[in-house]
Amino acid sequence: MKTEQQAAPSGPSFNSIKDVEGNVKTRMEKAISDLGHEMAHIRTGRASLGILDHIRVDYYGTPTPLNQVANLHVPEPALITIQPWDVSQIGPIEKAIRTSDLGLNPANDGKIIRLPIPPLTEERRKDLVKKLHGVAEHHRVSVRNIRRDGNEAVKKLLKDKKITEDDDKKAHDEIQKLTDAYMLKIDQASKTKEKEIMEIK
């Protein structure tokens, strides 16, 4: 998980509040895009190519992303088809899917692998929602850490007499506003994904 978990090392030195706020915003934006990427791996009852993003195929000894060795399609809501560019890769592709954490059973006709997406059981849905909540919380912690780094950078500007007490207060308010906005984005994304997981087709 590549998120902004750790505090920025005594890190970049900023010359203005604008620099600090720009840095905070960029890092929070990165946390949101990382969240989207991780949520795409959590499957729902509907076929989505995102669930295969983390699958690596042993392509002649090199772990290679699945979409670099095959064409992937979603011909219907509960089916993904995988057409390897090199049919000798059918075995390694099936093996990579079977040994992943997706719990899916690929089948092939010698040319194409069909990956049926079975309906999620109630228990599996609950497990996935729990996993989703963990991912969302991890990113909330990231955003809070970024806020802390931003506030510390503002305090340093005040200490170095680069800004006034008024500027300091305004900057803290602005960083809090950014934090609230990005926390809301995490909550909304998480709720939308949870609805997709719990949706029964």
**Ordered mean pLDDT values, 10 residues apiece, the chain (201 residues):** 45 87 97 93 85 90 93 94 94 93 90 92 91 97 98 95 95 97 98 90 59
pLDDT of residue 82: 97
| Contact call for residues 153 and 118 (beta carbons, < 8 A) | no
pLDDT of residue 124: 87
CA distances from 120 to 44, 97, 101, 116, 199 (A): 7, 17, 14, 12, 9
CA–CA separation, 16 and 154 (whole Å):
8
pLDDT of residue 9: 43
Tokens 């990579």 -> residue: 96
Q: Which residues of 56-88 are buried (b: 16+ CB within 10 A; e: fewer)?
A: ebebeeeebebeebbeeeeeeeeebbbebeeee
Q: How far is CA 70 from the centre of its chain?
A: 23
> In one letter, which amino acid is 132?
L
How many CA atoms within 13 Å lie on the side-chain side of 176?
A: 6
pLDDT of residue 106: 95
pLDDT of residue 2: 46
pLDDT of residue 3: 45
